[in-house]
Amino acid sequence: MGRRPKPKDIRAAEAKVAKHTRHRLKDWRERDRRSLTDVSEITGIPMMTLSDYERGKNVCPVECLRTLAMLYRAPLSDIKMTGDPLDTDARQIADLITRPPGVEFFKGKVTSFNPDDPIALAVRAMYTKSYSQAPIYENGHFAGLLTTNTIARWLGAQASEDIFSLQETPIRDVLRFSENDDNHRFLPRKATLFDVMELFHAHERRGGRLDAVLITENGAPSEKPLGIITAWDLPKVLEAIHVGFQEN
């Protein structure tokens, strides 16, 4: 692992990255014949923020840079930075953009349940393992994301009942109390942590909430889950990106 850059060094390096990428961002946009208004409406990024990125006034975050590159269909190799004028930190940031860390860090055994399993089984596992959500699979296909919020909503609906059974209530009955069915996304195992950040940011820009990103071989709901990244894991995602910066 390389040295840990000092904050002032990172800021100086980011300023150089901003200066280098500002012309690229404008070139990409003009080549794609898009106005700042068009890009703002598509990405949810304020027009003034986009303008600041293009003028080099502010640093365009790496996940945002990747989003714009995909929108403009521009290769990330366009912003590869080499040469003596750049110090080590600036080259590291550029390398991080073009060679971002993958989601392998979050691959591992995923605890999942069947819709016909008793909710007691899921509640017990989520409590003992400190899970805030768990994927539900039926016949090998994703059937929903069970969250602690959904369980709380279901319990609230049962408050007027004198007797209800956690053992006799199937998970599928609890899933009906989900406040938001659009609370998850899938990514292939070759995805990057920037792809993960962009999914969470995209939901936030729309005023929504993303509870989890499930990792599968090709990003399909019908595939076995290889890992899961929740909103509670975002600090770990940022730390992994920071480590990637140090190691580049």
* Domains with residue ranges and CATH for the chain: 7-99 (1.10.260), 105-247 (3.10.580.10)
Task: Say if CB 119 and CB 170 are below 8 A apart.
Answer: yes
Q: What is the pLDDT along the chain (248 residues), one digit of tens a residue?
A: 333 344 455 556 556 656 666 677 888 888 888 899 988 888 888 999 999 888 878 777 766 776 787 778 766 556 554 444 444 545 555 566 656 778 887 888 899 999 999 999 999 999 999 989 999 999 999 999 999 999 999 999 887 776 778 999 999 999 999 988 889 999 999 898 878 888 887 887 778 889 999 999 999 999 999 999 998 888 787 777 655 444 44
d(CA 162, CA 33): 64
Distance (Å) of CA 93 to CA 77, 85, 97, 161, 227: 13, 14, 6, 58, 27
Determine the pLDDT at residue 81.
47
| DSSP 8-state symbol, 78 | G
Determine the pLDDT at residue 97.
61
Long-range (24+ apart) CB contacts under 8 A made by 57-61 are: 57/18, 58/18, 59/14, 59/15, 59/17, 59/18, 60/18, 60/21, 60/25
Lookup: tokens for 8: 């002032």
Lookup: tokens for 49: 């923020």
d(CA 144, CA 181): 8
Q: In sequence order, what are the beta bridge partners of 195?
A: none
Determine the pLDDT at residue 42.
82
Determine the pLDDT at residue 77.
56
Determine the pLDDT at residue 118.
97
Is the pTM here over 0.95, yes or no?
Answer: no
Torsion angle of C-alpha atoms 119, 121, 127, 129, degrees rounded to 10: -130
